Structure 1
């Protein structure tokens, strides 16, 4: 049976721009489509899936992380699983984290042969928070990229901005992206045809604006190929920038540039799989493809045996120099030098100051104490708190209280009923310079 390619819309926009609100609207419309939703969240606790309404559509959550690096493989994995269930859906919506550059997400639908054969990128829709976009554009490269890649720009929360400011903002957005359609909205209320079935993504236009678009970015920074004779080897690492480092080992790795690039694409998928955690002294199997997570606090060593002469490739999350990575034969004091090394440098940079924190507590919250705490927190730290979202449990209230905030703006309203589900409080904050210990302590004072 021959299938048509499944259209995909990428839904992007900075933190708090209204992506989930728009997603809920799409899922509640009578459009006759069976939609699979893929979400990528930022932070250690997944909140957004709970904010999506209970609909017939299925929601798939991707791993935490930079979607342009570690999560690209996860996106490929989820789409690969969807291929096996083609009768269950006929459209895909990918909602990215507000901190993601949508370029590498779009890139996935052109770089991976299997994905390209099954899916077609219909368009990129970017939501704009009209009340905060000016400061976001000044402080975030991701916001600029989200505007630049859009086929449609939805200027959301237009009711919060004066008309002359909206006209000026629209002019600025058109200067940044002359090809995109600009649509005003309140509460992300736009016709569904504004988002679906656009047939708008033009690869030639993207390549004209960014010639490097089809040059992939990877979840690793370094690869090394070693010629190893039979025997026992010890991999040693010193202290580095992180307490752990992901590493993929590929036996039989060839050292020519084309082979390295082919293995690099394979590693995108391998990095998305659960890694085997290794502690000092553990053995590495040298005869199979492995995704490893190495404990690197202090000097560490890992042992592996080579049964027959072969080449071995290692693809590491960080460069070998950062951890002084060495491969030592058991019968020699000098390390083996790689016959080929390559550094893989991503074009984008991450904002290392931006982080997330989560608070999870059981029990009920005193509404007055919570409002006082949130009000004080946002008044004092609101500039640095980009996004606030979560669920709260009030005593004698059968429904979850859903709260969402952007900087100093904050809303809380009843959501779905708890039913038989255990009552709990889940809060996620995304921002800069978050005092996690103090925030958790202050929240605990709000519990009954």
Structure 2
């Protein structure tokens, strides 16, 4: 009750678990909190900025790298900038890329004296895709290469077990037991479209350093970690109008043939005959599409796509999408 430091929530979870969906719920619900958001995307083309709803909150983007390693210094600099204007917000939410290990992110709040005195790590909230989590947990990795999905579950203070509508009750119980076998003390919140009770996620004071040190004695050691080098990101940006029929055929074939290795796909496209952006998001072979927010007036309608997966062929993906363009705008 006497801790006046700013609470920080780390929102993590493997690719396609709906972290941005939960973030949008937090930003749009009437809860009276003033929130600063730090977003991290993996890849050279950013998509999530257009998927986050307009709000009064400040949103800082960190692209082209993973927050737990290559752009960790950027996180420290952004947090330092925020502290110089701390009267404009009450709390901070950090949304990590789906390939992030949350441990190095959490370490940030204990290594730096300024951050430790001004910020309090409130909770690590991990979203889990009930349909796909077991295959990600069982994904064999080379020696010394971390399984990020496993680390995200292990370090969670709260798990939002999402997409429960896509599995049977038996499958859901199997997933729940597996999660508890990794993290026996975690609170699991079932959800369908990330519709968990925000009161169980924000300002819960759930992060316990002593508990973490008990299970991970080397937590405060700044150890190097290695990602799976076969998992890469391919970003595509193109001007032009997309032929909707060609797009559907291409995406259908792509997901059918490469869906096992395609962890995440998403795009914001200018499709012919559609007045608003065509937004698609895929996880392995599952694809969901909807109308996006209206195109900003006076700004170029740029097609943006991102694919994250194993052994991706950039030239093949670019050629496949280029064939979907009905006409190119100079």
TM exceeding 0.5 = yes
- RMSD, matched Cα: 1.3
Report what 1:374 is aligned to: 251
Question: 1:178 is matched with which residue?
Answer: 184
**CA-CA distance at 1:76 after TM superposition:** 0.5
Query: How far did residue 435 of structure 1 move?
Result: 1.5
Runs of 4+ in structure 1 deviating by more than 3 angstroms, as ranges, are none
Q: Is the 8 A contact 2:265 2:283 kept in 1?
A: yes
Give the TM-score taking structure 1 as reference length. Answer: 0.70
Instruction: After TM superposition, give the deviation of residue 194 of structure 1 in Å.
Output: 2.1
- Give 1:101's aligned residue: 101
User: Paired residue for 1:147, among 139, 149, 153?
Assistant: 153
Q: Per-residue displacement from partner, 1:389-435 (whole Å, max 9, x unpaired)?
A: 12010233221111100000001110111132211110000001111
Q: Distance in 1 between matches of 2:63 and 2:294?
A: 27
Describe the SS at the equivalent of 2:55: coil
**SS of equivalent to 1:87:** helix
Alignment-derived partner of residue 275 in structure 1: none
**3-state SS of 2:229 partner:** coil
Q: 8 Å contact 2:278–2:292 — kept in the other structure?
A: yes
1:401–1:412 CA contact under 8 A, matched in 2: yes
Aligned residue pairs: how many?
318
User: Structure 1 residue 433 and structure 2 residue 315: aligned?
Assistant: no
Q: Is 1:357 paired with 2:234?
A: yes
Q: Which residue of 2 aligns with 1:69?
A: 69
TM-score by length of 2: 0.94
Distance of 1:191 and 1:171 partners within structure 2: 21
Query: What's the counterpart of residue 301 of structure 2?
Result: 423
CA distance in 1, matches of 2:133, 2:217: 27
The equivalent residue for 1:38 is 38
1:190 matched residue in structure 2: 196
Q: Residue 46 of structure 2 contacts residue 63 of structure 2 at CA under 8 Å; is this kept in 1?
A: no
Residues in 2 aligned to 1:134 and 1:64: alpha-carbon distance in whole angstroms? 28
Is the 1:364–1:424 Cα contact (8 Å) retained in structure 2? no
Instruction: Find the partner of 1:211 among 198, 210, 217.
Output: 217
- The alignment partner of 2:60 has SS state of strand
Q: After TM superposition, list the pairs within 5 Å mapping 1:222-237 onto structure 2.
A: none
Rg larger for? 1
Q: Using the TM superposition, give the Cα deviation of residue 143 of structure 1 relative to its aligned residue in structure 2, in angstroms.
A: 0.5
* SS of residue matched to 2:325: coil
Residue 68 of structure 1 contacts residue 105 of structure 1 at CA under 8 Å; is this kept in 2? yes
Q: Which runs of 5+ in 2 are unaligned?
A: 142-146
The answer to whether the Cα contact below 8 Å between 1:385 and 1:406 also exists between their aligned partners in 2 is: yes
